[in-house]
Structure 1
Amino acid sequence: MRSESRAARRSASAASRSALASAGLAASPDLSAPWRAEDDRPLVATVLAWGVGVALLSRFVLSENLLNAVIDYSSDGGSVLEKIHVGTYLGVGLLALALLTTRIALLPAEVRILRQFGWLVAVIAALTAVVVLAGNSVSAGFLVDTYVSSALACALMFVLPPDSRRRIGDALLIFMALSSLVAIAEKAVGLRLLPYPYVENGFRPTGLTSHPLVVGLFNAGSIAFVMATRWPGWAKAAAMLLLVMAAFAAGARTGALLAAAVALVSALTMPLSNPDPAQRLKTRGLILLGLVCLIPIALPAMAQLGLLERFITDGYVDDSANARVEIYRIFGLVDWRDILLGADPLWIKKLAFEKLGFEFIESPVVMFVFQFGALGAAALFCTILLSLWRLAAGSDWRAALGVVAFLLCALSNNTLSSKNQAIVMMVVLCLAYRRDDAPGRGWPA
């Protein structure tokens, strides 16, 4: 029986390798070192490493507001080509170059991730085709730049060896810390560094992002991955402090609370060198006691610095938060066919403004239901969740904590139903610090 089982496994493995080879990929037979330097064209490898880094990081450096100052990226008008980020175009070219010139070896777990994101693209393509055939309009720009580009980011990260992936993850976290530093400085001086098209009652910094809520979303989703870097302890502590303070400075209440919670859990569970479990437990207890003692000092200081302004003036639930709940009343204003089969998004937005007084629909559930119908929305949501779960499945549990924090923050606004690079961020960070079967990878023990 055992010999038959081994034979079956060998047969399945051979079939898998054959399928991968036909797609231009190769499953590594040696899981401990699947990225051996077998390519005699170091120039191609260097171009790919730098090119992928530039393509992925440009999604964050060239924010929505910066692009809108030059082209009609997310504003009304303009050509279809303008609606796609320049980083996406660059990524497509680099992926084509990699497939034509490079032998790509993947672990079985990585093949499963790539397959899952392939399913995500397939579901989006199928739903888009159904919507178009039904005669309704579809916002292809946000689907491509939010979801298809996340699958592209996944493929691009797998083009690179683990060390290059980690460097890109480190660079992205450094960008997040730098953006947080800019946001804190903006809060102090009352001026923004980058253009901001919206008129608000109070001042909220944006850092190097497009919106104050994006600061909270990015920081809540990325802060857990700081512990996966190989930075010295003081650098990790400084980066996490910057991320938390910037989220509060931006007035992103949900993002700030989630970032603080993830930072607290990360501090209490950080690796300790002492081999004695009792001593480690005692040390963690002292860390917890120290953090609790800091609260009476930190809260007044944060209030004095204006970091708690939105909590003090508006509380946690204000008109903006209520609007995200009240928008569900729109289901009572339409026919059941519109809910089941979908409706024209422009008509739905007009209905929300005229009947409910909401200029924007900040609910991915509402937007997906009317864009794709109830069944299509359920299929898309499930595929998105499965893709994120597959990303976190092979990583440390703190990566899963980061994914959960990201989802909770994203579901509190319209992140999942608008054009943004948030899911690309999670793809890059999860793959940069992934802990599979190869030794020396992923999170510190």
Structure 2
Amino acid sequence: MSLLLFFCTAFAFVLRIGFSSELMNLFVSYTIEAGAFYEKLHFGTYAVLLLVPVALFSRPFLLQGDEIGKFRALVRYSALLLALVVFMFVTGRAGSSVLLIDTYLVTGAAGLIMLAQSPDARRLLGDVTLGLLILSAVIGTVEALTQQRIMPYNAVELVFRPVGLSDHPLALGATCATAVGFVALTRWRVWIRVACIAVLFIGAAASGARMALVVTVIEIFALILLVPWPRLSPRHQRQAKLFVVLATAGGGAVLTAVLLAAGLLSRFTSTLFDENFFVRVSIYDVFNYVSFQQVMFGMDGAELVRIVQQKLHMPTIESAQVVLVLLFGLPLALLFAWLVIAMLWRMLRYAQPAAWIGVAATLAAALSNNTLSSKTPIVMMMIVLVLAYNSNGIKPAPDKPA
């Protein structure tokens, strides 16, 4: 039964992460305005949610030490989020609840399924997830080099940008940044880990996501400098890290020259403060066109899009903060943010430094655009990877005083 559950979980995760929105639209009206409510939820979301009772009640599983606290935190997070979904339905904003279910409720479900697995199974699921993200980076790089899409993508862009297995070029860059930190936590051979990080770096560059590439570069050096090397003495550790930093800088310079020659860094030859940057700043002007009541209690998503397109002349809302505040209302948006941050903080307890670096890189890349207010598997990926490679970091819960 445990082996069957593992394969079902792996299938559900691969389906949610690797089956893009454009592929979903071939079967149902997933991101199209028309269509029933049930069509707005990803096939992978259904698969993960249906697996929760199977994982929790089909056979006994053992939780030890801090795993118990993590399990309780995920149950509490999922219950409160489900209550928020019900509230959105009751108040006539069922459309806004799709984001909560497809991005955040599925995250809690995936976390519970992970904890119901053995530590070895969790690690293997993490390896599967990383393998999918590395494959996405490879596909994106091939798309960039050939200027031909392998996966469907119907958005019209002024400059060709690859998407790999993700929904958008920015999502490809963010997933590459996510994977780098966690590759360092695998048990793969050192040369394989180095090669995978190089592939992810190239994928981030190919995506044209400038913030994600900058974050990835910082992330790589942070992994070298901040992650301890326990087999070396402090003195030898400093010497080894200095050598690796210099070697990485030199290799990175050569790789950057190659990427420039291949045309993969064309979007980086201009300033960061271009039209896209000012779009992300100008989006805050939307508050000039909404009422105080709408800010406090939320508004209809279609009305928000209409204001942005007609008043600000922008095709999309490139700010998760703006979307969440105006969809849910400021008090609910703050409650929602607290739920997500508290859950993520609890999952990172006792995690290794590389996991913290990976999560920080993901959030830095995602908060520069509307990733966290879109139907995306990135939040679920983070939790799956944190729990996958935190098995050896689990520490016994402190004894209660008599």
After superposition, give the CA deviation of every residue in 1:378-400 in whole Å (9 maximum; x if it has no partner).
11111111111112122102111
Return the index of the structure with the highest Cα Rg: 1
Q: 1:171 to 1:127 in 2, by over 3 A?
A: closer
Structure 1 regions of 5+ residues with no counterpart? 1-43, 440-445
Residue 423 of structure 1 corresponds to 379
Residue 412 of structure 1 corresponds to 368
**1:87 is aligned to 2:44:** yes
Query: 1:247 and 1:373 mapped to 2: Cα distance?
Result: 34
Residue 316 of structure 1 corresponds to 272
Query: What is the TM-score when the length of structure 1 is the normalising length?
Result: 0.84
Structure 1 counterpart of 2:356, one-letter code = A
What does residue range 105-120 of structure 1 map to in structure 2 within 5 Å? 105-120=62-77
After superposition, give the CA deviation of every residue in 1:304-355 in whole Å (9 maximum; x if it has no partner).
1212111114x22222221111111111222211111222221121111111
- State the Cα distance separating 1:114 from its structure 2 match: 2.8
What does residue range 282-361 of structure 1 map to in structure 2 within 5 Å? 282-313=239-270, 315-361=271-317
Residue 321 of structure 2 corresponds to 365
Structure 1 counterpart of 2:365, one-letter code = C
Structure 2 regions of 5+ residues with no counterpart? 397-402
- State the Cα distance separating 1:123 from its structure 2 match: 3.5
C-alpha RMSD of the superposition: 2.0
- State the Cα distance separating 1:411 from its structure 2 match: 1.0
Residue aligned with 1:105, SS: coil
Residue aligned with 2:184, SS: helix
- State the Cα distance separating 1:234 from its structure 2 match: 0.6
Query: 1:271 and 1:100 mapped to 2: Cα distance?
Result: 39
Q: 1:98 to 1:173 in 2, by over 3 A?
A: closer
After superposition, give the CA deviation of every residue in 1:144-180 in whole Å (9 maximum; x if it has no partner).
1101100110111112100001001011111111111
Residue 195 of structure 1 corresponds to 152
Query: 2:227 and 2:115 mapped to 1: Cα distance?
Result: 28
Structure 1 counterpart of 2:292, one-letter code = W
Query: What is the TM-score when the length of structure 2 is the normalising length?
Result: 0.92
Residue 399 of structure 2 corresponds to none
* Matched-pair contact (CA < 8 Å) for 1:123–1:380: no
* Matched-pair contact (CA < 8 Å) for 1:206–1:215: yes
**1:432 is aligned to 2:388:** yes
After superposition, give the CA deviation of every residue in 1:161-217 in whole Å (9 maximum; x if it has no partner).
000010010111111111111111111111010000101111111112221111111
- State the Cα distance separating 1:98 from its structure 2 match: 3.0
- Counting aligned pairs with the same residue, the percent is 31
Residue aligned with 2:329, SS: helix
Residue 243 of structure 1 corresponds to 200
Query: 2:259 and 2:171 mapped to 1: Cα distance?
Result: 21
Aligned residues: 395
After superposition, give the CA deviation of every residue in 1:240-267 in whole Å (9 maximum; x if it has no partner).
0000111011101111111121122223
- State the Cα distance separating 1:424 from its structure 2 match: 0.8
Residue aligned with 2:62, SS: strand
Structure 1 counterpart of 2:155, one-letter code = Y
Query: 2:102 and 2:6 mapped to 1: Cα distance?
Result: 22
Range 327-336 or range 131-140, more displaced: 131-140
What does residue range 44-443 of structure 1 map to in structure 2 within 5 Å? 44-136=1-93, 138-269=95-226, 272=229, 275-313=232-270, 315-434=271-390, 435-437=392-394
Query: 2:167 and 2:243 mapped to 1: Cα distance?
Result: 40
Residue aligned with 1:106, SS: coil
Q: 1:319 to 1:51 in 2, by over 3 A?
A: same
- State the Cα distance separating 1:271 from its structure 2 match: 5.7
Structure 2 counterpart of 1:311, one-letter code = F
After superposition, give the CA deviation of every residue in 1:32-87 in whole Å (9 maximum; x if it has no partner).
xxxxxxxxxxxx11211111111112111212111112221222222222222222
